[in-house]
Chain A
């Protein structure tokens, strides 16, 4: 009987069964991402162009403020800020959206079974799609504008994007799970993101920071990814070992904690929401 029957009362979800369930439900994952994209751009005349407006305006504002008010003369400031803003927007939007991924899906959770991890992962992939769309348009424009020819270190770009995706999925799983039990997570996250924005070298370069703070800043969760993108795309050099280490370590740690939390608590989602 043990072979052909599953006991619903027995703990059954391991990481492997969840991963294989995710593979089985990949159509759902894709459709959730498409749904969010359609909902975002449907009915607006400019559609996807609006997504480009936001980073372009932000970069314009920061450039004006830094260049003409603070007299910052960093070379390639516009491109550097763009790289940082895009990567940061991906992370912070995904994190904010993920808090509601499970907590706001109560009726769905209560009436259909599907792997719960799909919801937070879907929000990350939706934000990844937006990030990639913007990057595909804006980064080549900048490379041309700054006359930067392709270089070997640019090959590392997809690797760091992948690491940031894994890291962000881990964070999303943590936040989605935590929010179902504590709604305050959203407010805490807003505060945390405001702090993280300035501890991440987005509007400044790590090289402009006194040497003794550099490692501490690099240890800020999103910093290694942003520094790596700037190294790869603008400075056209391989990221330093410390950058690799932090990027890989944060991806593994966040994903491990997120997966463990989700597996431990997913049975209670339908009752909590």
Chain B
């Protein structure tokens, strides 16, 4: 059970020019257009879907204004979502460190401010009295507790704020880059505290621009850009995606194409973090090479007709097009952006001409463009991008285009326990889900679906997939 789950979560703010906070503006607006309040929509978050399990530590990164803080504030109930759903565990104690020491009053003493601030976080007098010695000890400001806060340095101010927030014992801690301003000692104290929280099984959602802090605390990173979730996965890839994104100019327009245009001049290592490579699950190069290698081991020869189902950004095509005879390679993809990135960047970089084969792009599995029946078909990693319904549509569409005795291989992220519905965290750090992208499936479920569609399914004992995906062979039942 996740502690936080966002489904297509969006948040719109209305920016007011000439704000009608005063009646004068309303009144003048009746006569002069220029005095009217101008409203502008600003989507701080757009269709973000995310599941956060208990005990996870997630880093939110992205440039300023990308929606990170808005996401925290929605979870904390400070703002209300505009659309979508945001489920938060009912009994979870939420600790917010969105701004430290807010609500502090300069004329009150440290001790009085601790009491007031803890009360703002919802603590009772009794709880405050129990926590007070801890807070004072943690802050290291015992000598200053009876001094008015106006005599504190900004560092002491922050120390006290963090000491309060750190001792509130929340189940879910929301942090917004609060300790970037402190000295090294303080930052390290903060990180140690957060690591203690982790070991106690608390959930941490952490907004930061500091790769070191993210690495020290988080095991999963979400990259936001202009309100959209661009990446969700392991820390190294996430930070690389972010760095890459920061190099690109922050121009208007959808993000993926912008990255694609700059991607041509990059090294392979740099490109590994590009959106069109990470979107298929990572290991872009190795995955494509495995695909050809695997099919050759299954008997693929250059003169066979082969169908690459879900060819994505053409990691397979890059090696298969040169290997196959002219016109023998066919690729199908449903995501045009991925596909275009493949053609415009990857094939150009690899100096492979797409005209050697045929590429079909549509999102309803229509393969009728191809006049051929295929000897081999392969869906490499495609199914982690497909819901079960889409798979149910994909399988018969492919089988229909297989020649008698033709074989359809599919790799998928396997969930070995059909009754486990939790997200799976894999060795490389990526997380997969039973009900959202990237998907994982139990073999039995896929076999059942294929069986219901008149297909025969068997496992292929192959452990060489670079992302550790399992392989199955699907063939027409009437072939037997």
Contacts and interface: CB of A to CB of B under 8 A. Distances in A.
A111 B98 contact: yes
22 contacts: A7-B85, A7-B86, A9-B85, A26-B124, A28-B116, A30-B119, A31-B115, A31-B119, A32-B119, A39-B105, A109-B78, A110-B78, A110-B98, A110-B99, A111-B99, A112-B78, A112-B102, A113-B94, A114-B120, A114-B122, A183-B21, A183-B22
B81 A8 contact: yes
Contacts of B80: 8-9, 267-268
Interface of A: 1, 3-9, 24-28, 30-32, 35, 38-39, 42, 107-114, 181-184, 267-268, 270-271
Interface stretch (B55-63, B68-76, B203-211, B396-404): B68-76
A100 B81 CA distance: 26
Which 3 pairs show the lowest CB-CB distances between chains A and B?
A28-B119, A5-B87, A9-B81
A182 B108 contact: no
B201 to A, nearest CB: 17
A164 to B, nearest CB: 27
Contacts of B23: 182, 184
A27 to B, nearest CB: 5
Contact of A27 (B77, B94, B96, B119): B119
Contacts of A271: 13-14, 79
Contacts of B261: none
B120 A28 contact: yes
A5 B89 contact: yes
Interface residues of B, number: 48
A246 B128 CA distance: 42
Given A110-B73, A112-B103, A112-B120, A184 B22 contact: yes
Nearest to A266: B80
B364 interface: no
B73 A35 contact: no
B326 interface: no
Given A181-B21, A182-B23, A112 B112 contact: no
A266 to B, nearest CB: 9
Contact of B128 (A24, A27, A267): A27
B78 A108 contact: no
Nearest to B127: A27
Contacts of A5: 5, 87-90
Nearest to B165: A112
A3 B89 CA distance: 9
Contacts of A114: 120-122
Interface in B1-41: 1, 5, 9, 13-14, 20-24
Given A6-B90, A8-B87, A28-B120, 5 more contacts: A5-B87, A6-B89, A110-B98, A182-B22, A271-B13
Interface centre among B23, B80, B116 (most CB of A within 10 A): B80
Contacts of A181: 21
Contacts of A32: 116, 119
A108 B103 CA distance: 6
B446 interface: no
Interface of A is mostly: helix
B83 interface: yes
Nearest to B79: A270
Contacts of B102: 107-108, 111-112
Interface centre among B13, B73, B87 (most CB of A within 10 A): B87
Contact of A35 (B14, B116, B122): B116
Nearest to B115: A31
A4 B120 contact: no
Contacts of B79: 267, 270-271
Interface of B: 1, 5, 9, 13-14, 20-24, 73-81, 83-91, 94, 96, 98-99, 102-103, 105, 107-108, 112, 115-116, 119-125, 128
Contacts of B9: 9
Contact of A24 (B77, B87, B105, B122): B122
Contacts of A107: 99, 102
A112 B123 contact: no
A183 B448 CA distance: 64
Contacts of B115: 31
Contacts of B125: 27, 30
Contact of B86 (A9, A27, A268): A9
Nearest to A180: B21
Interface centre among B105, B107, B116, B120 (most CB of A within 10 A): B120
Given A25-B122, A112-B98, A113-B96, A31 B73 contact: no
A186 to B, nearest CB: 10
Contacts of A108: 102-103, 120
Nearest to A272: B21
A8 B119 contact: no
A35 B90 contact: no
B83 A9 contact: yes
Nearest to A35: B116
A79 B98 CA distance: 52
A21 B297 CA distance: 66
A98 B120 CA distance: 18
Contacts of B105: 35, 39
A111 B76 CA distance: 9
A111 B116 CA distance: 15
Contacts of A6: 87-90
Interface centre among A27, A35, A181, A268 (most CB of B within 10 A): A27
Contact of B124 (A1, A7, A27): A27
B99 A39 contact: no
A31 B122 contact: no
A1 B107 contact: no
B84 A39 contact: no
Nearest to B14: A271
A113 B21 contact: no
A184 B23 CA distance: 6
Contacts of B94: 113
A30 B81 CA distance: 31
B108 A8 contact: no
Contacts of B14: 271
A270 B76 CA distance: 12
B122 A28 contact: yes
Contacts of A30: 119, 125
Contacts of B112: 35, 38
A111 B78 contact: yes
A108 B75 CA distance: 16
A108 B77 CA distance: 13
A8 B122 contact: no
A114 B99 CA distance: 15
Contacts of B81: 8-9
A42 B108 CA distance: 9
A100 to B, nearest CB: 13
